[in-house]
A and B are shown apart, each in its own frame.
Chain A
Amino acid sequence: MSGPAPALELRHVSKRFSGVLANDDVSFAAAAGAIHALVGENGAGKTTAMRIAFGLLAPDRGEVAVDGAPRRLAGPQDAIRLGLGMVHQHFTLVDAMTVAENVVLGAEPVRRWALDLGGASARVAELARELELRVDPAARVGDLPVAARQRVELLKALYREARVLILDEPTAVLAPPEVAALFAVLRRMRRQGRTVVLITHRLAEVLAIADEVTVMRDGRVVAARPAGGLDAAGLARLIVGREAPPRIAKRPAHPGAPVLAVRELTILAAGGASGAGLAGGAGSAGGRPRLDGVSFDVRAGEILGIAGIEGNGQSELIDAIAGLADPAAGGSSGTMILASLADPGVRYPNVVAIGEDSAGSGAATGTRAAAGSTATGGGRVDLAGTGPGRRRELGIAHIPEDRHRRGLLLDLDLAENSILGAHQRPPVAVGPLRGWLDRAAIARRAAAILARFEIRPAALGLPARALSGGNQQKLVVGRELSLPPRLLLAAQPTRGVDLRGSELIHRHLVALRDGGCAVLLVSSELEELMTLADRLLVLHRGRVAGELDPARATVEEVGLMMTGGGGGA
C-alpha cells in the first residue's frame, strides 16, 4: 500500500485461546480518514483482533502498528495514549453516575482540589455539539436508553481525543432510526479526519457506510478490498464461505402432528435501569422488543432450525419455551401450547431412550408417559404459568447455549451432572416421596451417557470442571437426550466442540428426530443449520424474516435474510 501510512494496522497477528486459534496470521490495515468494516460470522475472530489492537489482549505472534510505527501495547492505557478508542459491545459505563462523570473518568479535569465538573460538562457538551450527538451531560447514565449510552461511550473515546475509533457491533442493540443516526455521526467523524473501524456482520450496514472491507472467517482474513465493487450476494459468500458437503446422511423427515405451537410470541425489552448486571449495557434499557409476534409450529419428527445473527431474539425464544425467561424483562404476550401425550397425532420417541439398559428404558418411558398423561388429561397444555420443572416433566429438554452458565455444575462430579433435570423422577429418585437417590441407577445412567457420547475421561467421580469444553458439551447433550425428550430445545449444540464431537452430536440429533422427537435447533453456524434442519426459520430483529427449505435454499439467500438484506424466500 502506498501513500500515507494506515492509521491502524495488525501485522501477521496470531492468538490462541486454550488450544483454539482465534486469530491466525491476521493482517489488517485501516486507512486514515476512512470507515473500515471488519466483517465475519460470530466466532470469526473479529473481536479478538480488535482487542489486540486496543491492547486488551497480547498477541502470541505479530505486532500492532499505529500510523505506520510498530507499537508495543501493555494495556488499553497505551492504546488510548496513541489515539485509539474502542466502544465495546458490552458498555463499560457506571450507571449510577452522570454522563459527564462517566466521560471524564480516568482523565478528569481538576481545578485546585476539586473536580472541575462544570468544565467537564462544558467540554462534553462541546464535543456533542460538534458531532450533533444528543446527550445531556448531567443525565444519569442508568436512566438513558441504549442508544444514548452508546453515544456516551463514543464521547468517552472522543474526549480522550481518539483519532481511531473501534466500534464492536455498535448496531446490535439499535433500532433502525438509531442506526441511521449513528451512521450520520460516523460520517461526520470521517469528515473530521478520524478513522473508524466498524465490527459488524450486517451486510446492509457494510454496503451503506464502509469505504473499505476486511472479511474474516475462522480466524483468518479471507478478503480485504474497497467496498465500492461489492454487492450483498458476493459479500455473503465471502462471509459464510463455500457450502460444504453435508457431513451426515439424513433420511427425509416424516413430520407428525405439531408438538409445540407458538403464536404471536412477543417479549419486551427490560425497562429502565432495573435490569442489567455488572456489565450494564447491552439489552438492558429501552429499545425494540426482543421478540416481536413470532409464530411457528414444531412437529414431531422434524428439526426446525432457527437461523439468525446472534442477538436477534433466539436466546429469548429458547428461554421463553424453557420457562426461564428473565423476570426483569419488560413483559411478554402470546401463547405457547404443547401437545400432550394424549394427543393421538404425536408419536412418543421410544426409539431413542439412551442411558439405560433395555429394561430400564422401558420402565423410564412408561413412567414418563403415565406421569404426562395423568398430569395433562386433555389434549394440550398451555405453557403459560408453568415453571421450568413442570416443563421438563412434560418432556421438554434443553441444551443451553452457555453450558457454563446453566448447563453444568462445574464443582460437582460427572454423575451428579448427569442427572440435573432428571433428578426429580424415577429411575433417579426413588422411594417414599421420591426422596432417595438411587446411586446404582445414577451410576448406570451416567456411565451410559459417557459411553454413548464418547466422553473422556470417563470417570464418574471427576468434577465437571476437569473435562475439556467439548467433552463438557457432550455431557450436557447426552444428559438432555437421555431424558428422553418429546421436544428438544437445542441452542448452539456444538459450540466449542471439535469436528468429531460435532458429528457425534449431529448424528444423535437426527436419530432423536427419527424417533419422533420434535427438535428446535438454534445455531449461529449456518452450515450446521443447513445440514440438520428440515425447515429453516430466519429471525431478524426479533421477527420471523422468512421460512426456507434448507435443501433448496442457498447460503447466500439465508445470509441475506439473516442480515436484513433481502425479502422473503
Chain B
Amino acid sequence: MSAQTAGFLALSSVRMATPLLLAALGGLYAERSGVVNIALEGLMLAGAFTAAVVTYFTHQPWLGLLAAAAAGTAVALVHATAAIRFGANQVVSGMAVNVVFLGLPPLLSGALFASTSETPPIPRGELLPRAPVALAALLVPLTWYVLERTRFGLRLRAAGENPEAVAGAGLSVERIRYVAVMLSGALAAAGGAYLSIGQASQFSRNMTAGRGFIALAALILGKWRPFQTLLACLLFGLAEAVAIQMQGAAGAPVQFVQMIPYVLTLVALAGFIGRSRPPRALGLPLAPRESGR
C-alpha cells in the first residue's frame, strides 16, 4: 500500500468516524446516567433530515446543525419522558423512536419535495466545512472533563451507578437523567447532521444505515469511556473506509469488513477483551412501585 493510499485511508477513516463519535458520545451521556439509549439510530436520522431541510431553505449549514441538535433534543425528550416519567421499558421506547424516524423523514420529504427517497441536493458551498471533525475530536476531552471534573458529571455518573445514593443526597435523579438524555439527543442528531450536510449533500432514506447501532457498539467496546470510545469509533471508521475502498475492487469480500465492528463488539461482550461493564443501574426504572411511600 502506498503512502498516498494510506494517507487517504486515514483521512477517510476520520471522516467516517466523526458521525459515529458524535452519536456514541451522545449515547455515553444517556447511558452513564442510567438510561439505555438504543434510539441513537432514530435520533441520527432526525438530525440528518432536519439539517438537510433547514440548510436547503436557509443556505446556512450552521443553522442546519443547530436545528438538528434542537430536533434531536426534542425527540430525546420524548424518549426520556416515556422512559423516566412513564416508566416505559427503555429498550422498547428507544426502538419506537427508531421506527418512527425510519418513516417520518421520508414522509415529510415526500410532502415537502415530492420525493420520499431524498431531499434536494445542497450546493457544495453551503455544506458544513471540515469543522465538525475537529469539533467532535474536541468533544472527547470535553466529555471526559465534564464527567470526571464537574459537579454535573459527578452526579450523572452517580445516577447511573447507584441512584439511591443520589436520592439519598437530596438530589433528583429524574432531573439528571432528563438532562443527560436530551444532551444525548443533541449530540446524536449532530452526528446525523454531519452525514447529510457534511459527508453527503442531501438527506436520503435511511441514510444512517445502522450507524446509530454501530455507535452503540463503539460505546460498549469503549467501555462507556470517552477516550476508549474514540478509539473504537476510529476503528469502526477505518472498517467503513476500507469497505468503501474495496467496493471498487471486484471480488473483494466487503461484507467481511463490514462485519468487523459487530463481531468485535460480540467478542468484547463475551469478556475476551477485558470485561465491558455497563453502568450498574443502566436500564433500571427508578424504584417503580414503591415511590409512593
Contacts and interface: CB of A to CB of B under 8 A. Distances in A.
Interface of A is mostly: loop
B171 A106 contact: yes
A47 B158 CA distance: 26
A93 B170 contact: no
A174 B100 CA distance: 54
B154 interface: yes
B168 interface: yes
B154 A92 contact: no
B149 interface: yes
B162 A101 contact: no
Interface string A272-315: 00000011100000000000000000000000000000000000
B161 A96 contact: yes
Interface in A229-284: 278-280
Contacts of B154: 97, 101, 104-105, 108, 115
Contact of A115 (B149, B164, B166, B280): B149
A114 B169 CA distance: 20
Contact of B150 (A95, A104, A105, A113): A113
Contact of B149 (A92, A94, A104, A117): A117
A106 B154 CA distance: 9
Contacts of B162: 92-95, 278-280
A114 B149 contact: yes
Nearest to B161: A94
A95 B280 CA distance: 9
B281 interface: yes
A362 interface: no
A107 B162 CA distance: 17
Interface in B160-211: 161-162, 164-166, 168-171
Interface string B140-166: 000001000111011101100110111
B171 to A, nearest CB: 5
Contacts of A97: 154, 157-158, 161
Given A114-B150, A115-B149, A75 B170 contact: yes
A102 interface: yes
A411 to B, nearest CB: 13
Given A76-B170, A97-B158, A102 B165 contact: yes
Interface residues of B, number: 22
A110 interface: yes
A402 to B, nearest CB: 15
A504 interface: no
Size band of the interface chain A makes with B: 20 to 34
Contacts of B151: 108, 110, 115
Interface string A74-108: 01110010000000100011111100011011111
Interface string B278-293: 0011001000000001
A499 B105 CA distance: 64
A107 B169 CA distance: 8
Given A76-B170, A114-B150, A105 B164 contact: no
B157 A96 contact: yes
Contacts of A110: 151
Contacts of A117: 149
A57 interface: yes
A101 B280 CA distance: 17
A36 B284 CA distance: 38
Contacts of A104: 154
A92 B157 contact: no
A76 B151 CA distance: 20
Please provide the 3 A-B residue pairs with the shortest distance between their CB atoms, ordered closest to farther: A106-B169, A77-B170, A92-B165
15 contacts: A57-B293, A76-B170, A93-B162, A93-B165, A94-B165, A95-B161, A96-B157, A96-B280, A101-B154, A105-B155, A106-B166, A108-B154, A113-B150, A114-B150, A278-B162
Interface of A: 57, 75-77, 80, 88, 92-97, 101-102, 104-108, 110, 113-115, 117, 278-280
